[in-house]
Amino acid sequence: MLFGYNPFLLFSFLSALLHLCAGHGMLKYPPSRGNSEWLGTCAAGAGCKGPCDSSKANSPVSNAYSASPMVVQRGQTLTVKWDRLNHPGGFVRLAVSKFEDSDSWDSFNNNVIKYTCYETNCGPDDPNNDTFGPLAGPGSQECSTTVTIPDNLPDGLITVQWMWFGGGVYYGQKDTSFGEYYGCSDLKLQGGSPQTSNVQPPVFKGGDVMYPSENVCRYWGSNKVGDCSFGSNSPNPIPGNLLSQSLEPCTHGPPQKGAPANLMSFIAYV
């Protein structure tokens, strides 16, 4: 028997889970703006409502003493990375806006460039450990995908928004889903392909550790952006009660399989 009713063992188990779950869902590369309030992570359930982990005003590029942002070109391929952070499933959405518009959700929603799976090329460390369900165990491997910097933006500061939605296994509970997580990285766009006015529709690239050869992802809860943003609600944390710091889990139910909602039929599948 692993924990039985021994309160000490149950406490140890919960502590281990809490430890496992500290700081989920973060954009790693290109580096996100960061924030001090939530140690760089931006969880809708904790009251961080995006669209970025910090506002424009709190971005390093608004600080004269910060290092200059990374330079990219129109049409360039950029690799975007995040760590799995012990959580399976869901989708990553990537959008690009002008930095000056980056406090606005609309500017990202109207300029989504890609959807892919959270576990693109990463998965649990022990694929045979089913404690939290098939292929759902711990492991913080690096996950990544590539995007093409769109050619509809002029030279200047731009912002790449990363979001994670449809992730699962909240504090070791198999059939629970996380809320949404957001992060942004500011870059300097300079040259490359000539600027055009074309806004390309987003692409979807499915295939993850659960469904490696199908154009789908495994997800928990919802496959639709906004369903697990908790609206304008924020938690009322009780000191000493870690779970009270979040409105999560978002939903209860087993994992599902599919593409992101609202993908239009003309979207190219690559």
Ligand X SMILES: *[C@@H]1O[C@H](CO)[C@@H](O)[C@H](O)[C@H]1NC(C)=O
**From the CB of 220, what's the least distance to ligand X, in Å?**
18
Q: Which is nearer to ligand X, 30 or 133 (CB)?
A: 133
- Would you call 242 helix, strand, or coil by DSSP? helix
Name residues whose C-beta falls within 8 Å of residue 182's C-beta, 6 or more positions apart in sequence. Answer: 42, 44, 48, 50, 51, 52, 53, 161, 162, 163
Bridge partner list, 74: 192
**From the CB of 22, what's the least distance to ligand X, in Å?**
15
Site of interaction with ligand X (CB under 6 A): 126, 129, 131, 137-138
**From the CB of 17, what's the least distance to ligand X, in Å?**
8
Q: Which is nearer to ligand X, 129 or 148 (CB)?
A: 129
Rounded Cα–Cα distance for residues 99 and 267 (Å): 26
Rounded Cα–Cα distance for residues 14 and 9 (Å): 9
Name residues whose C-beta falls within 8 Å of residue 131's C-beta, 6 or more positions apart in sequence. Answer: 137
3-state secondary structure 153-174: CCCEEEEEEEEEECCEEECCEE
Q: Which is nearer to ligand X, 137 or 167 (CB)?
A: 137
**From the CB of 18, what's the least distance to ligand X, in Å?**
13
**From the CB of 66, what's the least distance to ligand X, in Å?**
38
**What is the number of other CB atoms lying within 10 angstroms of the CB of residue 225?**
21
Q: Which is nearer to ligand X, 90 or 138 (CB)?
A: 138
Residue nearest ligand X (C-beta atom): 129
Q: Which is nearer to ligand X, 126 or 142 (CB)?
A: 126
The strand order across the sheet containing 77-83 reads 27-29, 77-83, 142-148
Q: Which is nearer to ligand X, 138 or 206 (CB)?
A: 138
**From the CB of 85, what's the least distance to ligand X, in Å?**
14
47 membership: H or E segment, kind and range = none
Q: Which is nearer to ligand X, 45 or 137 (CB)?
A: 137
DSSP structure class, residue 226: T
**Residue 184 contacts residue 102 (beta carbons within 8 Å):** yes
**From the CB of 126, what's the least distance to ligand X, in Å?**
6
